[in-house]
Amino acid sequence: MIPEPLRHELEQRIQQAVTPREAAVDVMKELQRHYGWLTDEAVREAAELLGLSPLQVEELATFYEMIYRRPVGRHVIHVCDSISCWSMGGETLLKQFEKLLGIKTGTTTLDGLFTLLPCCCLGNCGNAPAVMVGERLFGPLTPASSQALLEELRTTETV
């Protein structure tokens, strides 16, 4: 259930938007932040707030790769696999994260700390190969700096 202060804040954001759909990503992201992922309950709540059907919210949610419809770890590491990053070693970087975390891409570490996902261009091509964790961009990452990043994230609540 959405806490009243968050509900109030979301209602205000929706009112400021030209159309409710325009606020949909914001609403989904905030509910995701609250629940840890976009639960079925969150989809229903977002639909109610936005005046959309749950199916319409579901469609939007599955379109955005930063919206998670399954439980994820505390930190979701998005490794860019688009052309600039790929040409600068993005594939090797992804393998490096798999090795360091002991998981396959698309899964979560047993301790629930990390989820590893590929993603489309992050708009950080000049710093390829690039990664996004939470709202933060990182790059260019090397095997050494990717290890240092994990060490930093292990001691961080959220980024």
Binding site for ligand FES (CB under 6 A): 80, 82-85, 121-125, 128, 130
- Rounded to a whole number of angstroms, the minimum distance from the CB of residue 137 to ligand FES is 8
Nearest by Cα to 54 from 66, 68, 41: 41
DSSP 3-state of 139 = coil
Kindly tell me which of 38 and 138 has the beta carbon lying closer to ligand FES.
138
- Rounded to a whole number of angstroms, the minimum distance from the CB of residue 22 to ligand FES is 25
Q: Which parts of the chain are beta strand (E)?
A: 75-80, 114-119, 131-133, 136-138
- Rounded to a whole number of angstroms, the minimum distance from the CB of residue 83 to ligand FES is 6
Kindly tell me which of 49 and 130 has the beta carbon lying closer to ligand FES.
130
User: Cα separation of 69 and 155, whole Å?
Assistant: 26
